[in-house]
A and B are shown apart, each in its own frame.
Chain A
């Protein structure tokens, strides 16, 4: 997964630096691919494994090692990640390397956009899922827990939560059914909120095209 060959390549190999690379969190890859296609960008996408989310310092290491490998080959590199619990360390690092990141603390805020604050202020006990999280629930949140611990694990993890909000990127009946099962398995009611690509698209377009820098309401 850390393979520095781009996930999608629009230019031929050449000596000249290519115009644009996006270093993308694995949890956002599908959606970023969609934005890139719809914008018609000449871009190479490089994925960083989403599993690093459980250890933010590993996000730093993985992004740096990806930049070490590819940065010189591109005129512009944009990192498509939230702060993701690095508490500003990711931004400090990117600033030193002259690389931009799309604004936002994490992908839930990016998808929910302006709605994020309202949703969390209405109910702090909100647990978000996205298309990616629903698809990869077993491997990510359950971390492939031994079935004999699963119930007590999820009971400990989700104690105090009041609802699950599914920030849905794309209508998909099968995923919606799975989201419902997931919510039931952790004892939470499910609310589906279609977001599309939310603020992710807008922020990405602005950073890539170097236009007005969108601010998230949150760091």
Chain B
């Protein structure tokens, strides 16, 4: 791995935004492929921080700050990615945290990473009522909806969205992917979701799989 890529990881891990932004630009200027900057530099750093957070070696404020830096670094590589992406930018996806739930850190990371693979992500925000999701599906006609829930008390809203899609006759037009810390594959199967992922890189993989199936 190049020294510069290592210093990008280091800057994200130590929450040094100024250096992270500067090094991202330098890497791009040096001719490195934007995918490599994104995957081997930025995403790796965020994954490492996630690992540290899971085993109690990092605190949430660091994850929050690093996720913000990730988004701003993404904004630098995005134009280069888009310029070369063979992927149709027309693959639209909606993401939202369900009604009653104001947890959005994970959903934001998922959204930011989905954008980096060329999906046109429409983030409806958090505490989003089912009706608003249905309206957005009618208006934007996305291929995919990503629903996040962090509370066991709001997980049933994911199922409510699926039911509402069925009632509106929209279920076959759109794939539904669910996630959030308490959500499992078993829950996803039980409520009839098309996909589930436990973390953001997996979410991107599943999103691509589902949008390709829907293509």
Contact = CB atoms under 8 A, between A and B. Distances in A.
Given A55-B54, A58-B56, A219-B152, A161 B102 contact: yes
A218 B181 CA distance: 18
A87 B182 contact: yes
A156 B181 contact: no
Contact of B64 (A58, A83, A156): A156
How big is chain A's contact interface, by range?
20 to 34
Interface residues of B, number: 28
Contact of A87 (B56, B68, B99, B155): B155
A55 B56 contact: yes
Contacts of A88: 152
Interface string B123-150: 0011100000000000000000000001
B214 interface: no
Interface string A103-146: 00100010000000000100011000000000000000011111
Contacts of A87: 152, 155, 182-184, 187
B31 interface: no
B64 A218 contact: no
A100 interface: no
A83 B152 contact: yes
B126 A218 contact: no
Interface of B: 15, 54, 56, 59-61, 64-65, 68, 99-102, 104-105, 125-127, 150-153, 155, 181-184, 187
Interface of A: 54-56, 58, 83, 85-88, 105, 109, 120, 124-125, 142-146, 149-150, 152-153, 156-157, 160-161, 218-219
Given A124-B100, A124-B127, 5 more contacts: A85-B152, A88-B152, A142-B61, A143-B59, A152-B65
